[in-house]
């Protein structure tokens, strides 16, 4: 497993999807505990980095999430509302999702820019 428990890196047999989510929870807790010690790990990045050691990334993809992302990108690109009406008439759940998408895409864009700067400085 990608997580050390009680000083040991255990071997785990995965028999169902919940076993994968249990390891995701362990990864999240490990990053959180590490951050309490003064580090600044991004919990999502930590999980994504370790995910390849215990699960196929496709397991985390859901069709409804993909459709939400497509809707978000389409609306951003063309400057239109995802649902009829103004901001106050948009479904609350959609507003929450859109803030999550914006934050996630911003983090990804920052990572790309930072990696570009690192590569530029190496030359």
Closest CA to 95 of 87, 104, 84, 85: 87
Q: What is the pTM of this model?
A: 0.64
Provide the sign of the torsion angle of the four alpha carbons 32, 56, 72, 64, taken in this order: negative
Arithmetic mean of pLDDT, 57-71: 90
Q: What are the residue boundaries of the structural domains of the chain, listed by start?
A: 17-59, 62-122
Instruction: Tell me the H-state helices in 9-82.
Output: 17-36, 43-51, 63-78
pLDDT band at 60 (very low <50, low <70, confident <90, very high): confident
Output the pLDDT for position 122. 63
Arithmetic mean of pLDDT, 109-114: 86
User: Is residue 111 over pLDDT 90?
Assistant: no
3-state class of 8 per DSSP?
A: strand
Output the pLDDT for position 101. 93
Environment class of residue 31 by beta-carbon count within 10 Å: exposed (0-12), middle (13-18) or buried (19+)?
A: buried
């Amino acid at each position: 497993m990608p997580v050390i428990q009680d000083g040991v890196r255990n071997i785990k047999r995965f028999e169902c999807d919940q076993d994968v989510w249990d390891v995701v929870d362990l990864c999240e807790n490990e990053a959180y505990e590490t951050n309490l010690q003064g580090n600044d790990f991004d919990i999502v990045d930590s999980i994504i980095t370790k995910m390849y050691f215990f699960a196929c990334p496709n397991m985390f993809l859901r069709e409804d999430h993909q459709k939400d992302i497509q809707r978000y990108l389409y609306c951003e690109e063309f400057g239109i509302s995802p649902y009829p009406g103004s901001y106050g008439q948009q479904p609350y759940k959609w507003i929450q999702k859109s803030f999550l998408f914006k934050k996630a895409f911003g983090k990804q864009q920052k990572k790309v820019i930072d990696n570009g700067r690192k590569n530029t400085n190496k030359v």
